[in-house]
């Protein structure tokens, strides 16, 4: 992620200093940035002169030379491993060298920004700036002020990232921020449907893609993300939200992770990627497909409504986040309007009655909107 973020800043005309704990990672980062710039030249997105100038603006700092090179930086974005103590240690070390006015940003996906900032002498200058993978391609960036972040710092960081041709949204410092929180039911509910034997993975993927209009089915997407990564995100959000059953991870997925079947990167996950593997076919049953889409979609809409209810973000930013961050075909609140919020509530009611699980509880805001016959967007 650090490499991609550095590439964006370089392409936008900044001088960039890049380091890592591993020499190999620094070398790989330089190679990867140079290769990306070469590709940009080949595709006429960049002139050879601009590409060369970008390479000249990059300083790769070897791990053993400390952080002194970062002294003159106006913004430092941290993308080290997702461990609280490592991130806190990184910022404590940075605070000793950077200037008073330097903004400190973390690319954390799942840790509390407030908690990372609490290690700093000046937590008001630290915020979350959360990119999506691959950072140079994905347009969305979540801007996440911690509890003690100064509004000026948030505004300044947002201005810089907006200048990088990114779409920024403002998220509250809550588990999973906007995208990773609201997207949970896409995986969780698909896994429940699989576990119950209602449909197999290819059928669920077919339904979500062909009937739901999602760019990729949930199982193919989990294989692509890596089952270990996807499971860890779910587990961390579930834990951080005090084991709310809405986010409970799947045991089936956990077993696959334990077995080392991590998806594409390990050659097998929900699908088998070995060259001669037989591919299971989808049961292209329209009625079954529509039931699958309705169940998963209503859970997603409810999650988006609840995020709005709990002020995770504004309605506009929730819509932007899901369309620009994970390429959903439309915003979930508008989708709810279109389906009929009363229909969404009725579907959740049916699921809740059937399973008697708190997992299917509707957001108080959904109930209120239906009661008052309102829509999110007129
Ligand atoms: N991969 C994604 O899809 C994604 C998306 C958004 C955000 N993030 C976040 O970005 C961060 C990095 O994720 P990643 O997938 O690039 O991980 P990664 O494991 O590929 O890279 C982390 C890098 O940090 C280095 N590192 C570890 N400790 C360090 C230290 N003390 N000082 C300097 N470097 C150190 C490692 O050597 C490694 O090169 C994490 O916080 C992650 O949650 C990842």
Give 365: exposed, middle or buried? Use CB within 10 Å, 0-12, 13-18, 19+: middle
Catalytic residues, which ones?
Answer: 109, 130, 142, 180
Residue-wise pLDDT for 171-199, tens only, equals 999 999 999 999 999 999 999 999 999 99
Percent of the chain with pLDDT over 70: 100
Residue 264 has what pLDDT? 95
Report the chain's mean pLDDT, rounded to a whole number. 96
Would you say the CB of residue 93 lies under 6 angstroms from ligand 1?
no
Q: How far apart are CA 145 and CA 25, in angstroms?
A: 29
Q: Please say if the pLDDT value at position 280 is more than 90.
A: no
Give the distance (Å) from ligand 1 centre to CA of residue 2.
7
Residue burial 264-286, b: 16+ Cβ < 10 Å; e: rest: bebebbbbeeeeeeeeeebeeee
| Closest ligand 1 atom to Cα of 2 | 16
Q: Dihedral angle at the C-alpha atoms of 300, 306, 311, 317, nearest 10 degrees? A: 20
Give the distance (Å) from ligand 1 centre to CA of residue 155.
25
Per-residue pLDDT, averaged over 131-144, amounts to: 96
Residue 237's pLDDT band (cuts 50, 70, 90): very high
Per-residue pLDDT, averaged over 23-32, amounts to: 97
Domain boundary among 145, 162, 178: 178
Q: How far apart are CA 118 and CA 129, in angstroms?
A: 17
Query: pTM of the predicted model, to two decimals?
Result: 0.96
Per-residue pLDDT, averaged over 157-175, amounts to: 97
Q: Please say if the pLDDT value at position 278 is more than 90.
A: no
Task: Based on the fold, state whether residues 137 and 207 are members of the same structural domain.
Answer: no
CA 217 from centroid of its chain's CA atoms: 17
Task: Based on the fold, state whether residues 147 and 280 are members of the same structural domain.
Answer: no
For ligand 1, mutation pick of 109, 119, 138 (most atoms within 8 Å of CB): 109
Q: How far apart are CA 128 and CA 366, in angstroms?
A: 29
For ligand 1, mutation pick of 6, 22, 79, 180 (most atoms within 8 Å of CB): 79
Per-residue pLDDT, averaged over 233-237, amounts to: 95
More confident residue, 66 or 93: 93
Domain count, the chain: 2
Q: Please say if the pLDDT value at position 355 is more than 90.
A: yes
Mapped onto helix, strand or coil, the DSSP state of residue 173 is coil
Task: Based on the fold, state whether residues 291 and 371 are members of the same structural domain.
Answer: yes
Residue 135 has what pLDDT? 95
Per-residue pLDDT, averaged over 316-323, amounts to: 98
Domain boundary among 144, 178, 212: 178
Task: Based on the fold, state whether residues 33 and 132 are members of the same structural domain.
Answer: yes
For ligand 1, mutation pick of 4, 18, 20 (most atoms within 8 Å of CB): 20
Per-residue pLDDT, averaged over 12-27, amounts to: 97
- Please give the residue range of the domain that contains residue 53: 2-178
Q: Please enumerate, as own/partner, the contacts of 307-310 that have beta carbons within 8 Å and a separation of 24 or more.
A: 307/178, 307/181, 307/182, 308/333, 308/365, 308/376, 309/363, 309/364, 309/365, 310/174
Give 200: exposed, middle or buried? Use CB within 10 Å, 0-12, 13-18, 19+: middle
Task: Based on the fold, state whether residues 348 and 376 are members of the same structural domain.
Answer: yes
Mapped onto helix, strand or coil, the DSSP state of residue 103 is strand
Per-residue pLDDT, averaged over 294-315, amounts to: 98
Q: How far apart are CA 351 and CA 297, in angstroms?
A: 13
| Closest ligand 1 atom to Cα of 89 | 31
Residue 323 has what pLDDT? 97
Task: Based on the fold, state whether residues 318 and 188 are members of the same structural domain.
Answer: yes
Per-residue pLDDT, averaged over 267-282, amounts to: 91
Q: How far apart are CA 171 and CA 144, in angstroms?
A: 5
């Amino acid at each position: 992620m650090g490499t991609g973020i550095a590439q964006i800043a370089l392409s936008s005309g900044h001088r960039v200093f890049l380091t890592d704990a591993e020499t190999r990672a620094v070398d790989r980062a330089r190679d990867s940035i140079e290769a990306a710039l070469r590709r940009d030249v080949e595709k006429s997105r960049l002139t050879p002169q601009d590409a060369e100038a970008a390479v000249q603006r990059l300083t790769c700092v070897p791990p053993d030379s400390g952080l002194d090179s970062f002294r003159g930086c106006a913004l430092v974005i941290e993308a080290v491993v997702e461990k609280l103590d490592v991130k806190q240690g990184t910022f404590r070390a940075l605070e000793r060298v950077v200037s008073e006015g330097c903004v400190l940003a973390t690319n954390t996906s799942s840790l509390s920004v407030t908690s990372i900032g609490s290690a700093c002498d000046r937590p008001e200058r630290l915020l979350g700036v959360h990119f999506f993978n691959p950072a140079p391609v994905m347009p969305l960036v979540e801007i996440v002020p911690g509890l003690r972040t100064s509004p000026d710092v948030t505004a300044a960081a947002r201005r810089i990232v907006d200048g990088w041709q990114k779409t920024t949204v403002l998220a509250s410092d809550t588990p999973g921020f906007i995208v990773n929180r609201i997207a949970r039911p896409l995986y969780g509910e698909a896994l429940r449907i699989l576990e119950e034997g209602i449909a197999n993975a290819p059928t669920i993927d077919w339904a979500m893609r062909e009937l739901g209009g999602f760019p990729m089915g949930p199982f193919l997407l989990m294989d692509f993300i890596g089952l270990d990564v996807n499971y860890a995100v779910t587990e961390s959000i579930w834990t951080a939200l005090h084991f709310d059953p809405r986010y409970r991870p799947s045991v089936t997925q956990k077993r696959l992770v334990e077995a080392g079947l991590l998806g594409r990167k390990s050659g097998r996950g929900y699908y088998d990627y070995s060259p001669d593997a037989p591919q299971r076919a989808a049961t292209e049953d329209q009625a079954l497909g529509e039931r699958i889409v309705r169940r998963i979609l209503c859970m997603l809409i409810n999650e988006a409504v609840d995020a709005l209810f709990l002020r995770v973000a504004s309605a506009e930013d929730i819509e932007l986040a899901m369309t620009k961050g994970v390429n959903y075909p439309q915003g979930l609140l508008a989708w709810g309007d279109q389906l009929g919020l009363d229909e969404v509530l009725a579907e959740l009611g049916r699921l809740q009655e059937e399973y008697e699980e708190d997992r299917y509880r509707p957001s108080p805001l959904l109930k209120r909107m239906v009661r008052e016959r309102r829509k999110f967007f007129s």
